[in-house]
Amino acid sequence: MNFDDHLFFCAPSRLIIREGARHELPALLAKLGYHNGILVTDRYFAEQTPWVNEYVQAASKCGISTYVYSDGEPDPSTTLCDQATQHILAQTQGQTPDHVIALGGGSNMDLAKALTLTLRSKKPVTHYKDGIGNDEPLPFIAMPTTSGTASEVTPGAILIDPDNATKIALMDNRLRPFIALIDPQFTYTCPPRVTADSGIDALIHAIESYVTMDSNQFERNNNPDPGYSGRTHLSKMFARESITLCARHLRQAYLNGADSQARIGMSYASVFAGLSYGSAGLNAVHGIAYSIAGLTHETHGRTNAVILPYVLYELRDRRMQELKEIAAIFGVTGQGNKQEQDTVLQLVQTLQTLVSELGIPNNLKDFGIKEVDLPRLYADAMSVTRLRNAFPVPDTSASYLRIIANAWAGDFTDAPVPVLQLEQDSQVA
């Protein structure tokens, strides 16, 4: 084993995973000396489940007051964050809370992470688009209700800037939760489509971080505290376990949400994937998926799922050993004279079958993307430099062309579509 890792690993200081673990949080916060919190969630959890009221009452008995902000939205915007900041400060008479809790999926956690900054500094959230500087965020506690985003262990938050329809990434290790509390019971009522979208996201996080840039080649831009720093033996260990759990439990959790073992398995899969990609980082799958989402407004999990097989096929020469290991987890073994190539092809076809079983299209045509949109899709994907630069290939431009061409045609070949080849020089400077 070659230990030429440049390991930099950052994770929540407290990670709790257990059925019913939510009931432990008030006593833990009281023991740690917290008294005045904000709980960020949405109307569904505030009004359709007992969880919010149960927490507020239990926290009160422990001497903790909690203001509930329940106007969370999917894909929160910078406008929503600033409005929430002003609303919360007005309702709490300007008193700065000493902790922020998120209950919900990735969107609620993104909003809550942003609020840990703005509630303390009183600054608009766009102030942090280039980094949070010396502004210290409030302590953050994450209670996810889905198994997939892993925002409960990662350093980032994504907000939409409505002024230019772009995404703003808040990225800093200080935004990682200091308590990540994963109670699988939160996921039992998660509807099948959300289970599929979040579950495939967990699998993709694990696979993508398993094949990403090595830590000793990863560009950290001289940052002594990088959010992402490339894959290591440690990140790969977490990724392998996540892939194994997803292969075993994702389909069953989708088909039978009442299966507690499948739900618990996917809760662990999501956390392990987050512990992997939250250190190693991601690359082309997410980079291209962001562009697909911009054209289709499809959900995050679905846009990642449609492109995953084509990205893995492109990596067959650079990550053959890893792809064979993933294939073995899914029970895939190649046959014939070209066993390795056959293994990769069977793997990507197996993943396409899983994606189809989760109700997700297998090609960009079925996603509604037209051929005329492909140059823009390519250019937008190439513009996400953080993810592009982490893709472990010698010529990212050519690889992105092939991936997009294959994904649109629903095929696995080596030649890019001519229209993309003609456009690449004019679309990307």
pLDDT in tens, 332-350: 987 655 788 889 999 999 9
Residues 291, 304: contact at Cβ < 8 Å? no
3-state secondary structure of 385: helix
Least confident of 68-72, 102-106, 225-229: 225-229
- If we measure between CA atoms, which residue out of 237, 191, 402, 192 comes closest to residue 316? 402
Quick check: 13 pLDDT over 50? yes
Give the mean pLDDT of 190-214: 98
Beta-strand runs (E) in 174-314:
179-182
Output DSSP code: residue 231: B
Name the pLDDT band for 427 (thresholds 50, 70, 90): very low
Place of tokens 């939760």: 177
Residues 37, 67: contact at Cβ < 8 Å? yes
Give the mean pLDDT of 124-144: 97
Distance CA 326, CA 320 (A): 10
Residues 304, 285: contact at Cβ < 8 Å? yes
Quick check: 166 pLDDT over 80? no
| CATH of region 14-186 | 3.40.50.1970
Q: What is the residue-wise DSSP string for 58-99?
A: HHHHTT-EEEEE----SS-BHHHHHHHHHHHHHHTTTPPPSE
Instruction: Please tell me the predicted confidence (pLDDT) of residue 2.
Output: 61
Structure tokens at 387: 């993810």
Instruction: Please tell me the predicted confidence (pLDDT) of residue 337.
Output: 55
Instruction: Please tell me the predicted confidence (pLDDT) of residue 158.
Output: 92
Range 192-427: architecture per CATH: Up-down Bundle (1.20)
**pLDDT tens, 248-290?**
999 999 999 999 999 999 999 999 999 999 999 999 999 999 9
Name the pLDDT band for 14 (thresholds 50, 70, 90): very high
Give the mean pLDDT of 318-324: 97
SS (H, E, C) 293-319: HHHHCCCHHHHHHHHHHHHHHHCCCCC
Instruction: Please tell me the predicted confidence (pLDDT) of residue 388.
Output: 97
Residues 224, 17: contact at Cβ < 8 Å? no
What residue type is 181 in one-letter code?
L
**pLDDT tens, 370-409?**
999 999 999 999 999 999 999 999 999 999 999 999 999 9
Name the pLDDT band for 215 (thresholds 50, 70, 90): very high
**pLDDT tens, 41-56?**
999 999 999 999 999 9
Name the pLDDT band for 426 (thresholds 50, 70, 90): very low
3-state secondary structure of 116: helix
Name the pLDDT band for 135 (thresholds 50, 70, 90): very high
Instruction: Please tell me the predicted confidence (pLDDT) of residue 3.
Output: 65
Least confident of 36-40, 69-73, 157-161, 309-313: 157-161
The mean pLDDT value of the chain amounts to: 93
The helix, strand and coil proportions of the chain, stated in percent and rounded to the nearest 5, come to 55, 10, 35
**129 Cβ contact partners less than 8 Å away, ≥ 6 residues apart:** 161, 168, 169, 170
Instruction: Please tell me the predicted confidence (pLDDT) of residue 167.
Output: 80
Quick check: 34 pLDDT over 80? yes
- If we measure between CA atoms, which residue out of 166, 81, 158 comes closest to residue 123? 81
Quick check: 424 pLDDT over 80? no
Instruction: Please tell me the predicted confidence (pLDDT) of residue 422.
Output: 42
No. of H helices and E strands in the chain?
16, 8
Burial 336-358 (b: 16+ CB within 10 A, else e): eeeeeebbbbbbbebbbebbeeb
Instruction: Please tell me the predicted confidence (pLDDT) of residue 340.
Output: 84
Instruction: Please tell me the predicted confidence (pLDDT) of residue 74.
Output: 92
Name the pLDDT band for 18 (thresholds 50, 70, 90): very high
Percent of the chain residues topping a pLDDT of 70? 95
Place of tokens 């109307």: 43
What residue type is 52 in one-letter code?
V
Instruction: Please tell me the predicted confidence (pLDDT) of residue 326.
Output: 98
Count other Cβ atoms within 10 Å, centred on residue 4.
11
**396 Cβ contact partners less than 8 Å away, ≥ 6 residues apart:** 284, 382, 388, 389
Same topology between domain 14-186 and domain 192-427: no
Asked whether the CA dihedral 12, 70, 164, 380 is positive or negative, the reply is positive
Quick check: 1 pLDDT over 60? no
Beta-strand runs (E) in 187-343:
none
Name the residue ranges covered by the structural domains of the chain.
Answer: 14-186, 192-427
Residues 390, 283: contact at Cβ < 8 Å? yes
CA dihedral 123, 125, 126, 131 (to 10 degrees): 90
Quick check: 417 pLDDT over 60? no
- If we measure between CA atoms, which residue out of 374, 195, 208 comes closest to residue 302? 195
For residue 214, report the phi and psi dihedrals to the nearest 5 degrees.
Answer: -70, 150
